[in-house]
Structure 1
């Protein structure tokens, strides 16, 4: 039986963050399809095309308004069912495995 892959949107604020997080996501036991976005408009564009299973926000400075944008997006567009996780440091692999379950 083939395991269904999870679709994740990775929202980041600095390009140095993308590769380590993508590598970590690709080495999870469950298959993952990832799209990366660097700003809120790119996130909106991706959400118009396909709703993710999870949104991971991996930012250096979470105070920059990302959280407010995501809160308004969830409230205004009725996307409360999509979990959003915010990390300021690269998480442990086990943390991501736990999020997928």
Structure 2
């Protein structure tokens, strides 16, 4: 009566052992590669670098003069013009 669950447990255990063994063999380094010295990293010798040339200097295309930059207007920080503001929060009865 209990042979089916026992057989299932045995099969699952055997399958797990097989998968564990295959995984171990896949991750284990091969026996021929143990202890071998890796190949050295070779860097090619640099080739002759040409001497740097002096940068070409050219005169600017325009004459030095005033720029076209306009400074921004000054900040309006006085409170004198608050009476002209239509949305000043005072209800004067007009809509």
With normalisation by structure 1, the TM-score equals 0.17
Name which one, 1 or 2, has greater alpha-carbon Rg. Answer: 2
Pick the structure with more helix per residue.
1
Q: Counting strand residues as a fraction of each chain, which structure ranks higher?
A: 1
